[in-house]
Amino acid sequence: MLKVAIYGKGGIGKSTITSNLAAAFAAMGKRVIQIGCDPKADSTINLLGGEPLRPVMNYMREEDEEPEELDQIAKEGFGGVLCIETGGPTPGLGCAGRGIIATFQLLEDLRLFETYKPDVVLYDVLGDVVCGGFAAPIREGYAEKVVIVTSGEKMALYAANNISSAVRNFEDRSYARIFGLILNHRNVENETEKVQAFAEEKQIPIVGEIPRSDEIIRWEDQGKTVIEGDADSEISKRFFELAEKLLEDETERVR
């Protein structure tokens, strides 16, 4: 099973990249689970035709009980991707990171992985603060690879540095390792050079590069990933290439 956590600062495009990657894996015939680990709970919306999914934390708060069946908190989207959103506490109350930990424990109790038997699991994780809850995918062994999304913007690179430091703190415990960076272009000045310099300094490869594209925005306005909208487009090819790299690396790891 390929298990990948995708991190990056808020607003950097993690959800767009994660959902397109999920759609690419699905189009390749893989069984995929995507788990959104952001209080905004919008990670999977473009796999579900633009319809938001009820987050796990909302269910528990509104029903005052834990769900007993997976279909109460999960929904299949494009290509059969099983979509789950952790959500967060009532705004201003509680800790969002604690919500992630509670959700992961619930998914274990519901035997998510044993029941669905995925080939690929993707975690879409907010990376502005890598506290205990937001580090859960890499700290608790749920994910084995970490991909960091960044642009050439100062704060995006600052967050990428924090995330890489957090992951490396766990490397000696056989937790997740950094697979690489995805450069999600924002067309800032000297962007490629800035990210390449960061990658060389931190010794992290750039494994994917997504050009700034109106095509992605156009399909998202229709509640779709670009993979669903036009699987043969140049942008879609970037996601398929990244999916192939991840699968090839997993095959080598297993060997």
Question: Catalytic residue numbers?
Answer: 9, 14, 40, 128
Distance CA 46, CA 227 (A): 10
The secondary structure element, H or E, covering residue 146 is: strand 145-150
Task: Please check whether residue 123 is in contact with residue 6, taking contact to mean a CB–CB distance below 8 angstroms.
Answer: yes
| DSSP states along 165-188 | HHHHHHGGGT--EEEEEEEE----
Among residues 31, 51, 29, which one has the least CA distance to residue 42?
A: 51
Q: 46, exposed or middle or buried, with CB in 10 Å at 0-12, 13-18, 19+? A: buried
Q: How far is CA 48 from CA 12, 58, 100, 220, in A?
A: 21, 18, 21, 11
Q: Categorise residue 206: left if φ over 0, alpha if ψ from -120 to 50, beta otherwise.
A: beta
